[in-house]
Structure 1
Amino acid sequence: MTGFGHGRQVRTRPDASERPLSEAYDTALLDLDGVVYYAGGSAIAHAVDALGAARAGGMHLAYVTNNALRPPGVVAEHLTELGVPTGPADVITSAQAVARLIADEVPAGSRILLIGGEGLRVALRERGLVPVESLDDDPVAVVQGYGGPELPWGRFAEAAYAIGRGLPWYASNTDLTIPSARGIGPGNGAAVEVVRIATGAEPKVAGKPLPPMHRETVLRTGARRPLVVGDRLDTDIEGAFNGEVDSLLVFTGVTDVRRLLAAVPEHRPTYVAADLRGLLTPQPGVSETAAGPHTGFACGGWTGFVRGGALGVETDGDGSVAGLDPMDGVRALCAAAWSYAGEGSCDLDPGKALARLGLN
């Protein structure tokens, strides 16, 4: 580790855990899309069984999503149908986080101009606020959350009129895209940009990776030693970094190994795993070793190194990869790439190394 602003340390390799993560942490704060289920709603391979085993071992499971469209009860019902028994209290959304943020800053019972869907409406009412549809209803603030693909264009105009009159503006999150069964579509961040262009204003944002979402999650779960589990570097992992808690990145969603190797410090997870089965196993450590005339980083029979302007990986002994876990090779490569990059982003070519791991 080396120095990083405000006393933080730059992560130069994934951490080790002698105990399974489900035993080392009391609560898993799990993202949904790309971690538990696919955009179409079906469960990701191994997710149901892994979560069941973690729960049976005493780990509290909570589901944390930036999607403000669906109320927690609807999300919980979907998870239960997939085979992951879940109650509404176990689901935390950016709608809840932004509703608490607003409630802390306006009088109780205030009217709030709602630009979004049912999840945001439910969250406002939970905090004693009154959602309204028009500037003519005398709101004291504007809140914007994802309202689905059918949200009328006129809703953005209504937000712009209100903000133009000086009303404070809040956004559940600013994710530019959202996955769906048909592909990647524009998310709430794209809709926020429409209003931003029209008004020149900036909203107060609650969702991952910002602190209000982490605060909401901890308040609702009571977690004492949480582990953030996600597939996105810029929301899940950065959110864990901002909240100063540990994180596990899984490769079942949007992040691939190439992006991970190039991660800046705030996007470097504590642990990495292929999928949610990583919750149930110890995490092997990475140690410095010699790789020819250079320093290497060893993990599980693999050694990662920087040589000739590229990232490389090799195996012990006769060079066979039989019986070796490619994820150990990824951990070794992360140590090589992050140590080389320091406080920046590694720009070295990992192509041959990924091919060696069978991950190209």
Structure 2
Amino acid sequence: MSQRQARRKPDGISAVLAEAYDTALLDLDGVVYAGGAAIAHAVESLGRARDGGMRLAYVTNNALRTPDAVAGHLTELGIPADAADVITSAQAVARLIAEQVPAGARVLVIGGEGLRVALRERGLEPVESADDEPVAVVQGYGGPELPWGRFAEASYAIARGVPWFASNTDLTIPSGRGIAPGNGAAVEVVRIATGAEPRVAGKPLPPMHRETILRTGAERPLVVGDRLDTDIEGAFNGDVDSLLVLTGVTDGARLLAARPEHRPTYVDADLRGLLTGQPEVVEAAGEFRCGGWTAAARDGALVLDGDGDGDGERDGDGAVLDGLRALCGAAWAHAGDGACDLAAEKALARLGL
């Protein structure tokens, strides 16, 4: 189905996802790794998907590291990758800037080495000061040690009328210790100081999707991510299918309340979902059934009936996911083009979520 329609339930598919799609467009933080360490089942699952013929492309809004550095990190984790397999928001924003300024133009960089490398790839000259006569300002995640004075340099240049670009506006970023401020939080600092608005390239906006397709040549892509407002909305904007994995920032409550642009095609616990099909969610008489669970909207709440046993072949995580998929159907159908406001705590508690 077109992603532009208001999805009423997750899709089912009998084919293994890694066989049904030619390229996985994988987010990194919260999907492949967290805090630098591989997420459980990621290495094995990606290896099996790759061995089966699926191309793996790593698509990240994090503009701090270069594609070479990201590929090296993945390889160290046991996921062989080349720089060409990595697409960053730094590359997307560098292309966006290069299309609007003269070749060789100076660009004030507020961020890390990933931005500088991407700008040079487009024939632009990174500079460090507002007094270096930049024709554009670009801001990307610079890591926790980015000096406060960098925001001042951006503000000085923007106040003089220099156009401002941002790699992305993710307010948070997952880390090994929890959720940390992302580039969007830093962008807010400059916005407060200047009153200006940046041109943004990263997910979920079209420049990032364009960069990804140009670099991968994907014909049947599957976006794989953990964030509704970047990964899944980016897939929606690109009118391609998506797989949400529950290893990052999205929990059951956020998923059930998702607006149409944030509703994934498929839902799974982790990257093992690439190696299987997806069970069908059956709608009948206002109820949604998946496996041994039936979900419905009743009396201002989402209600989950059943025991999760189904045909006796689903247990553990599989049964929990079946219940969550059924609840998604009940919630999304009730909400239509909006966000579901039904109480869901009791239903999610039955699944241990």
Match of 2:30 in 1: 34
Q: 2:323 aligns with which of 311, 323, 329?
A: 329
Return the alpha-carbon distance in structure 2 between the equivalents of residues 323 and 193 of structure 1.
46
Label 1:111 to 1:117 Cα distance change in 2 as closer, same or farther (>3 A). same
SS of the equivalent of 1:193 reads helix
Match of 1:304 in 2: 295
Match of 2:60 in 1: 65
**Residue 272 of structure 1 aligns to which amino acid in structure 2?**
V
Match of 2:14 in 1: 18
Q: 1:343 aligns with which of 318, 337, 344?
A: 337
Return the alpha-carbon distance in structure 2 between the equivalents of residues 154 and 318 of structure 1.
58
With normalisation by structure 1, the TM-score equals 0.93
1:235 aligns with 2:226: no
Label 1:177 to 1:317 Cα distance change in 2 as closer, same or farther (>3 A). closer
Return the alpha-carbon distance in structure 1 between the equivalents of residues 144 and 271 of structure 2.
30
Q: Deviations 1:48-85 (Å, cap 9, x if unpaired)?
A: 11101100110000011111000011011111111100
Match of 1:185 in 2: 180
CA displacement at 1:316 relative to structure 2: 7.1
Return the alpha-carbon distance in structure 1 between the equivalents of residues 87 and 309 of structure 2.
50
Return the alpha-carbon distance in structure 2 between the equivalents of residues 256 and 44 of structure 1.
16
Return the alpha-carbon distance in structure 1 between the equivalents of residues 179 and 210 of structure 2.
29
CA displacement at 1:285 relative to structure 2: 1.2
Match of 1:99 in 2: 94
Could you tell me which runs of 5 or more consecutive residues in structure 2 were left unpaired when the two chains were aligned: none
SS of the equivalent of 1:202 reads coil
Which segment is superposed worse, 164-173 or 300-309? 300-309
**Residue 157 of structure 1 aligns to which amino acid in structure 2?**
A
Label 1:341 to 1:135 Cα distance change in 2 as closer, same or farther (>3 A). same
Return the alpha-carbon distance in structure 1 between the equivalents of residues 177 and 309 of structure 2.
46
**Residue 161 of structure 2 aligns to which amino acid in structure 1?**
G
Return the alpha-carbon distance in structure 2 between the equivalents of residues 317 and 109 of structure 1.
61
Which segment is superposed worse, 268-277 or 347-356? 347-356
CA displacement at 1:315 relative to structure 2: 2.0
Return the alpha-carbon distance in structure 2 between the equivalents of residues 124 and 136 of structure 1.
19
Return the alpha-carbon distance in structure 1 between the equivalents of residues 18 and 80 of structure 2.
17
**Residue 224 of structure 1 aligns to which amino acid in structure 2?**
E
Q: 1:259 aligns with which of 230, 240, 254?
A: 254
Q: Any residues of structure 2 matched to 1:13-162 within 5 Å, and which?
A: 13-38=9-34, 40-162=35-157
Return the alpha-carbon distance in structure 1 between the equivalents of residues 182 and 287 of structure 2.
42
Which segment is superposed worse, 253-262 or 300-309? 300-309
Match of 1:219 in 2: 214
With normalisation by structure 2, the TM-score equals 0.95
Match of 1:356 in 2: 350
Q: Deviations 1:110-137 (Å, cap 9, x if unpaired)?
A: 1111111101000000111000111222
Return the alpha-carbon distance in structure 1 between the equivalents of residues 309 and 245 of structure 2.
30
Label 1:151 to 1:346 Cα distance change in 2 as closer, same or farther (>3 A). same
CA displacement at 1:307 relative to structure 2: 1.7
Return the alpha-carbon distance in structure 1 between the equivalents of residues 103 and 313 of structure 2.
64
Label 1:323 to 1:27 Cα distance change in 2 as closer, same or farther (>3 A). closer
Label 1:246 to 1:323 Cα distance change in 2 as closer, same or farther (>3 A). closer
- RMSD of aligned C-alpha atoms? 1.9
SS of the equivalent of 1:209 reads coil
Q: Deviations 1:265-300 (Å, cap 9, x if unpaired)?
A: 11000000011111111111111235xxxx211111
Match of 2:271 in 1: 276
Label 1:112 to 1:224 Cα distance change in 2 as closer, same or farther (>3 A). same
CA displacement at 1:309 relative to structure 2: 1.8
SS of the equivalent of 2:32 reads coil
SS of the equivalent of 1:8 reads coil
Could you tell me which runs of 5 or more consecutive residues in structure 1 were left unpaired when the two chains were aligned: none
CA displacement at 1:181 relative to structure 2: 3.1
CA displacement at 1:320 relative to structure 2: 11
Runs of 4+ in 1 over 3 A off after TM superposition: 316-324
Return the alpha-carbon distance in structure 1 between the equivalents of residues 60 and 323 of structure 2.
30
Percent of aligned pairs with the same amino acid: 76
Label 1:283 to 1:181 Cα distance change in 2 as closer, same or farther (>3 A). closer
**Residue 325 of structure 2 aligns to which amino acid in structure 1?**
R
Q: Is the 8 A contact 1:96 1:123 kept in 2?
A: yes
Q: How many residues align?
A: 350
